[in-house]
Structure 1
Amino acid sequence: MPVPVGGYQAGPSCWDRLKMGFMLGFCVGMASGAIFGGFSALRYGLRGRELVNSVGKVMLQGGGTFGTFMAIGTGIRC
């Protein structure tokens, strides 16, 4: 069987994995924040600008929190 030419190609570095873990967690947190924050805001009777501001804040908080924990988990596995 012929040996591939070009040498050894390394995988992503630990820092790249941390960034990817954070971004994946951030996206999942944003999606869950949109769902849960949207239902919660609609239940409270928010409409218009209040609804958008409330849901946006919940999305960013959920994304940041979940992204941080995903990055920590990915860092432990490095």
Structure 2
Amino acid sequence: MIRDRGQDRKAAEVRRMLEGPHPPVPAGLADRAARRGARLLRVRRGVRRTAWWLAGTVFAAFLVWAGVEQPWLPEPAEVTPPLEGW
């Protein structure tokens, strides 16, 4: 019940704000907002492309390293076993 009263009070306050006189909007605000949004999208796209490129490069380097080093094979023995049965 207490929440309902709080939400009703907030809704009434928002309605009062929307019904009241609206402040003047600066000229060119929509154009500036559109330019800023386009710039943010370009930056995000560039960051995303760079991150994918970097991830692909790291993956390719890992594959080359794994192909050269072959870490799944056991290390060669330091001492050869004695020859028996010759």
Could you say which TM-score interval applies, normalised by the shorter chain?
0.3 to 0.5
Please, what TM-score do these two structures have when normalized by structure 1?
0.43
Answer 1 or 2: higher relative contact order, Cα 8 Å, separation at least 6: 1
TM-score for both structures, normalised by structure 2: 0.40
Larger Rg: 2
